[in-house]
């Protein structure tokens, strides 16, 4: 069956691998020698970019259609979307400064669990905790890669079991989420379909899931582009630039606009103070 696996080259509009895979929406991708390496579902993928498009290494067509094209949401027309956003001055600045940020369609459980860990935490440490979580409780799929541990797997663990993660007060939140998801008390599958207010309420039945984490799970894990996570950086943007609310050109895709604004505003503070 490996005979069908080959390198697939695709032109994908508005996809910058570095910006998309390392802009604070997913936490497990690593770049080495221009190749991005990460796990989606049950296997690891290598992806790079050249002048002709994006190269997905050693995949077959079925796998590309069912996993990768979904993950990168390649059916969505980001060219039109960024043109639409450019009706607003600040958004135009953000999308011009950082073109190629796409919202990934991650698995709901991984997104939920990741953003529970993200609360009151910084991105480097979030990555470390998630890495230890996968190494400790995910499936070993070779080459030092591990799957993201299922809710069922985590549900029967104790806080002491999670101690090596050094997740702090978040450990009990992870366990409550795993328990409620694996038992079906919170049904992640239906969150992509039901009215978003109901989806928020459903997610917030979990201890440690407030408005921000719920919104992140919906945006990054359930394909709800109208979800609008407000963290400290977006809060600054809203008070500084949009005291009356977001412009109309973001209606229905506020979450995507949010990602551009987040990355833009955050880089104003971090990148310029090096030397």
Residues with active-site annotation: 212
Question: Which listed residue (58, 204, 241, 253) binds DNA by CB under 7 A?
Answer: 204
Report the C-alpha gap between 122 and 126 in whole angstroms: 6
Helix (H, G, I), strand (E, B), or coil: what is residue 49?
Answer: strand
Using the rule CB under 7 A, is 106 a contact of DNA?
A: no
The whole-angstrom distance between residue 269's C-alpha and the CA centroid of its chain comes to 22
Beta strand residue intervals within 121-226, DSSP E: none
Handedness of CA 60, 63, 64, 68 (dihedral sign): negative
Residue with smaller CB distance to DNA, 25 or 150: 25
Candidates 42, 53, 168, 185; binder of DNA (CB under 7 A) is 168
Q: Is 21 in the site for DNA (CB under 7 A)?
A: no
Looking at 45, 85, 98, 233, which residue binds DNA (CB under 7 A)? 233
- Comparing C-alpha atoms, which of 85, 52, 56, 83 is closest to residue 71? 56
Contact segment (CB under 7 A) with DNA among 4-12, 32-40, 105-113, 114-122 equals 114-122
CB of 228 to DNA, least distance (A): 8
Site string for DNA, 36-75 (x = CB under 7 A): ----------------------------------------
Q: Does 25 bind DNA (CB under 7 A)?
A: yes
Return the residue of 41, 125, 135, 139 that touches DNA, per CB under 7 A: 125
Kindly compute the dihedral angle of the four CA atoms of residues 32, 33, 34, 38, in this order, to the nearest 10 degrees.
Answer: -20
132 binds DNA (CB under 7 A): no
The verdict on 128 binding DNA (CB under 7 A) reads yes
Question: Distance between alpha carbon 26 and the CA centroid of its chain, in Å?
Answer: 4
* Exposure class string for 21-49: b at 16+ Cβ within 10 A, else e: bbbbbbbbbeeeeeebbbbbeeebbebbb
Residues 254-273 interacting with DNA (rule: CB under 7 A):
258-259, 262, 266
- Grouping H, G, I as helix, E, B as strand and the rest as coil, residue 165 is helix
Q: How many residues bind DNA (CB under 7 A)?
A: 40
Question: Residue written as tokens 């996809």?
Answer: 15
Binding region for DNA (CB under 7 A): 23-25, 115, 118-126, 128, 163, 166-169, 204, 206-214, 216, 229-234, 258-259, 262, 266
């Amino acid at each position: 069956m490996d005979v069908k696996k080959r390198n697939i080259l695709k032109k994908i509009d508005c996809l910058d691998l570095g910006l998309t895979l390392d802009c604070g929406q997913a936490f497990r991708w690593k770049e080495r020698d221009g190749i991005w390496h990460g796990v989606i579902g049950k296997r690891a993928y290598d992806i790079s970019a050249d002048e002709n498009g994006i190269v997905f290494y050693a995949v077959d067509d079925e796998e590309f259609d069912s996993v990768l094209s979904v993950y990168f949401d390649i059916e969505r027309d980001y060219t039109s979307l960024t043109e639409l956003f450019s009706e607003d001055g600040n958004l135009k600045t953000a999308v011009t400064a950082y073109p190629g940020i796409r919202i990934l369609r991650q698995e709901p459980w991984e997104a939920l669990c990741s953003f529970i860990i993200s609360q009151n935490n910084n991105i480097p440490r979030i990555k470390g905790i998630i890495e230890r979580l996968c190494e400790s409780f995910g499936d070993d799929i070779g080459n030092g890669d591990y799957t993201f541990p299922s809710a069922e797997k985590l549900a029967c663990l104790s806080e002491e079991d999670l101690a090596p993660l050094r997740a702090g007060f978040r450990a009990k939140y992870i366990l409550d989420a795993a328990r409620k998801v694996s038992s079906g008390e919170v049904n992640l599958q239906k969150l992509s379909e039901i009215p978003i207010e109901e989806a928020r309420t459903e997610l917030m039945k979990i201890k440690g899931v407030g408005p921000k984490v719920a919104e992140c799970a919906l945006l990054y894990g359930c394909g709800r582009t109208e979800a609008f996570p407000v963290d400290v950086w977006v809060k600054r943007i809203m008070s500084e630039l949009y005291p009356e609310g977001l412009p109309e050109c973001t209606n229905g895709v506020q979450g995507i606009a949010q990602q551009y604004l987040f990355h833009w505003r955050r880089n104003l503070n971090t990148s310029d103070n090096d030397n």
